[in-house]
Amino acid sequence: MKKDIVIGMIVGLIANTIGLFLATLLLGNGDGFITVIKAAAAEGFLGKLISLGAILNLLAFFVFIKKKQDYRARGVLLITVLVAVFTFVFKLF
């Protein structure tokens, strides 16, 4: 049970990272990944960019639900909630 939750969390982190990378490619106008991240931090929309990256977690979540791997889906959901809390805290400060 704990192993499946950890696997789901790892998949959620990987999906979020890939989603963040894809969001920077789509919204970055050809700039590099690091350049877009620095510009997003300077302009105050890094939290929104990270939230866009979390959209891929939906895909992972529903794949695990369809395969009846509920504990892995729970791990993905935990990571999604942690990303939301991180984004909220980042926005406050």
Of the candidates 60, 93, 11, the residue with the CA atom closest to the CA atom of residue 85: 93
**What is the per-residue pLDDT for 19?**
92
**What is the per-residue pLDDT for 5?**
95
Give the structural domain span for 47.
2-92
What is the pTM for the complete model shown? 0.85
- Kindly give, in sequence order, each residue whose CB lies less than 8 Å from that of residue 77, ignoring residues fewer than 6 positions away: 8, 12, 61
Q: pLDDT tens digits, the chain, 93 residues: what are they?
A: 899 999 999 999 999 999 999 989 888 877 788 888 898 888 888 888 888 888 999 999 999 999 999 999 999 999 999 999 988 888 787
Domain count, the chain: 1
